[in-house]
Structure 1
């Protein structure tokens, strides 16, 4: 019996060691750089404030049972989306800022005449295995082939719903540069991405690429593609030109970092804020919709768009609840909320709600 257990453990170890979707392991050189980061302590990256993944009174067993049962209206029959035309997206003046949301946290932007995509995931699953965490059905599906040439890819962290191996490998031939937080480069290089195409960032690092100013900024979250957590960094991104300032929030619980970012880089013309996959059992790592709206105020943003919903069921709320709650909170607080249809080409001046903050 012991022999069988040992064999099973060894099999699991070697599977996770060699199955490429789990990603790579940090090199000794990378770890040396980690050691210089103020956010790296005792072999792990840390948040700016204490951030337990689960609430103190949360029941793991009860949560698992709830996931097995599934939430009411957790998945739609189909999500109505728009046909995306990359030629139309690339038209217009270089000073015009466009964006298209492809569901969840994948956002394509045209900024300063350059194309930027954040957290591209075009697979139909958010996991290392194609049969789990399946995406919702869309009336129009999207693939890497729908994209124009991408000057800059922004990755926020290494969770499967934000960093997808197949997407990265398929789009690489049409990508100029990747910007990733510390440690995430190990995954990309394992998947065949040339190291000289990858720029590595710690929080508050700033870059000038293709005439675009970028900064890696804090988020309140964690990382990991297997059993170990927080061995790579997570972040949000600031994107600026002389005429526009954008914020991509990725995954984050509500915290003091939003005001810090707003004070350092605000005001923002447009912010993309996580609003989905929240739950009372993990309140520190995913913001509630009302907190997402407050985050846009802390950032001093003129308008906001909700991301991290409408593609995967990774929590226990109804699939459309995030936008419904965000809409109510934004209206109550006078926040301009952009509600583009998935696949729609929009500009930062096109908003569905025209309330202005008092």
Structure 2
């Protein structure tokens, strides 16, 4: 049974582990890349609904994981593949779900469910499987007791326990300290390909911990939870901005920059999740197809330049979502900092926005000069 907070229920077949799970239910519009979605730490405590009807056909391999485990709280698909068919597959998707204890459900009308979430907004939900399940009223009550995503501080739960290093590929041209708020493996890999040595530090790292490593730049990663609850990360970033060390943030890192500059954040009705979201880069006028995974956004003026409420000079919205005008990027004009709400490191794709890592490298070179 899939049970929504508003009392609606769906009956299907178990997919993955048997048991029960609770979380915020969201939908992902990507037609490929389910392995990367499942292992993205930003989905911690979320039940993910795949809008693509056929999931699992390419199986699972050992190369495409974005982190050390599957992070989704639960998984909802319409038609799971009966068997994987791909030369890179080493096991089926359901085998991975079972092995990692991820409770899922299949065989339900995910199109109907997506329409509900687009109309009513994302909400708490639960998946329950096994024998002798209690009645619907009891299951709905259990779902309503679950913690909401608003106000949740989750970065510490997904971050690395200790620092580690990703060496530059070829000649080293810069050193970046990346704060792991839920980082995906492809992010330091993209930097390393550009000759950047990356030191990844836990979410609990202080500004002193970061700056004592004498970085050419500082990076804040994607991650789960409500940016309004991330007071420590915001305070840390302000110290980095005060030190005028070049900064780049992705997704949660964009929201943290927004708050550090003094802007607010808010929860989106149903969020942006998928690999097919159109974003305009206002610097070039180019429209990019991009990968998204966020349920919160920055509340900053869309037109022209605005003054940072916390005194960091002029700021402009550098990128905007063409579906709903949500802020998709910030650029500081008086301190060396910028960020984007989406994922330029996207795996399985698209790769339209990978130039942003080059922009970060140019920012660091310019600051050094």
Give the TM-score taking structure 2 as reference length. Answer: 0.34
More strand by share: 2
Give the TM-score taking structure 1 as reference length. Answer: 0.34
Query: Structure with the greater relative contact order (CA < 8 A, sep ≥ 6): 1 or 2?
Result: 1
